[in-house]
A = this chain, B = another copy of it.
């Protein structure tokens, strides 16, 4: 079975996010002062081939831990959809 995983990787809440801070500031200059607390992370979509949803979940989790997310600075969540 083929699954599509949609992964969000975000900087941890406790850490400063300088890119997000810069964008928050830019929003004011763009006459959008209603927008605040911008945080910027990564969105990754990928396909995974597995026998069950559970197996696919463990593969994606392994990929996140080994390569995609830096767990010291980032947290990740993902959703799997069968294709």
Contact = CB atoms under 8 A, between A and B. Distances in A.
A contact residues, range: 35 or more
A48 B35 contact: yes
Contact of A66 (B8, B30, B45, B68): B30
A34 B62 CA distance: 12
Contacts of A40: 42-44
A34 B41 CA distance: 25
A36 B45 CA distance: 10
20 contacts: A6-B8, A9-B43, A24-B46, A26-B67, A32-B66, A34-B48, A34-B59, A35-B46, A35-B59, A36-B46, A36-B47, A36-B48, A37-B46, A38-B44, A38-B46, A39-B44, A40-B42, A41-B44, A41-B45, A43-B43
